[in-house]
Amino acid sequence: MPAPISERKLANAIRVLSFDAVQKANSGHPGAPMGMADIAEVLWRKFLKHNPADPQWHNRDRFVLSNGHGSMLIYSLLHLSGYDVSVDDLKGFRQLHSKTPGHPELGYTPGVETTTGPLGQGIANAVGFAIAEKTLAAQFNREGHNIVDHNTYAFLGDGCLMEGISHEVCSLAGTLGLGKLVFFYDDNGISIDGNVEGWFTDDTQARFESYGWQVIKVDGHDADAITQATEQALKETTKPSLLICKTTIGAGSPNKQGLAASHGAPLGDDEIALTRDALSWKHAPFELDDEIYEAWDAKAKGDIQQKNWDADFDAYKKAHPELASELLRRLNGDLPADFDNQAQAYIQQTQEAGGDVASRKASQNAINTLQPLLPELLGGSADLAGSNLTLFKGAKGIEKDADGNYIYYGVREFGMTAIANGIALHGGFIPYVATFLMFMEYARNAVRMGALMKQRVIHVYTHDSIGLGEDGPTHQPVEQLTSLRTTPNLRTWRPCDATESASAWLRPLSLNIIHQH
């Protein structure tokens, strides 16, 4: 019997696929995939719960590559694991209409959970995934039936931690005690401009410990140490975990590892030849041994995991048929059977009532009516709930126990919006978020990312009137409405009465309603 293939060789498969694809495209970032290959091999082969044959399986673990410039890392992982990502797809890296764009994009590549690239937002999406999982579990799991039960993992780099959004979302994640959230920090000390010591000297461990995270330091090239650290992270169920993985960017490249030269440019044919020799890799570009594919293939394991969950769900359905039906409805994104009729009646009542009602109060009236009909509405505001009027009757703030239906985001407009994108991506909820229209500017890039991914996130922006003059020019929105209206895939409503406010709420929930009205 041949000796089992080494974990280092399995990780090297990621390295060679990554630098080969970048070289063929003559564009890309080989450094991060080569540096994080050992971490990725451990996580994906030993811990990640997923089924390549069904990328949308509800109870799969979520994986986010926040440092999305290293996209060949996730494309290699998907290809090796058995997803519908072929060698030809890898050869088409960064080419028009390919499955393998320069940064991971939702909807183009099976297995990609969210579009990443703007640094920091991937980890914010991951926090949203973890909030959604924990809250959905609190609402639907019952004794002996942990039917919503998965982890969220994210890879991130120095750039993600330098972006301010990382503070917003990681602070909140610690406060909420998201114990199924595990981050792997690629601590390689290099960014495009060179060694980050000149501009990034934070004590990352102390920073995250102050947020309430478990922090574990580990050699990012030692498979056994990574395994032990991940096991330790998963045992901690009351805190999120950050694994600070000391790595070498471009690991394996004799002349470019550890240098910015491997960050955002192809290694070059000569250096690739040297790297192949250093890794004892004898194959031509994009060629791998069958034994490597067999060791990586996750389809059989994923099929068993999904069938086990199916059996668990069948037992849950027998014990709690109404809950099971409601959970499936929400996860599938379906509306309640009678929603359209009730919503139509609400619009009619609003129109008949008439009256002079402030639009933000009319918005709150709509939420009060709709939330009991749609328990998946998960609201939140950036510390302005009393002004935005986003609280509804029966609202209960989500805290560490997660048994709630409203998120107090604090003064975190950017983080709030990117988290809401993650909640929408997870499924089971329709998130809405709120702040003053002026402060949409803080959230702007996350609004754009949600629109780019065509996610159903409702943004409630108030205080858009010239009457804000008493606050001075800092609070007076001028160009903001135009900016929103010119954003592709973003429908912008500025209701002028109670009926329009109700219609504006119903538009993202049920397109049929507005058409009938």
Please check whether residue 40 is in contact with residue 73, taking contact to mean a CB–CB distance below 8 angstroms: yes
Structure tokens at 209: 């410990």
Please check whether residue 72 is in contact with residue 33, taking contact to mean a CB–CB distance below 8 angstroms: yes
Q: Which of 62, 148, 230, 48 is nearest to 402 (CA)?
A: 148
Distances (CA, A) of 145 to 116, 179, 311, 364, 424: 34, 19, 11, 36, 24
| Whether residue 413 lies in the annotated active site | yes
Q: Which residues pair with 431 in a beta bridge?
A: 378
Question: Cα–Cα distance between 282 and 455 in angstroms, integer?
Answer: 45
Structure tokens at 366: 């709509």
Given 41, 105, 271, 413, the catalytic residue? 413
Please check whether residue 364 is in contact with residue 387, taking contact to mean a CB–CB distance below 8 angstroms: no
Residues found in the chain: 517
End-to-end CA distance of the chain: 72
What strands lie across the sheet with 181-187, from one edge to the other? 62-65, 152-157, 181-187, 241-246, 214-219
Structure tokens at 514: 């507005």
Angle at 177 between CA 175 and CA 182, to 5 degrees: 115
Cα-Cα-Cα-Cα dihedral sign, residues 107, 108, 110, 116 = negative
Question: Cα–Cα distance between 430 and 367 in angstroms, integer?
Answer: 12
Enumerate the active-site residues. 413
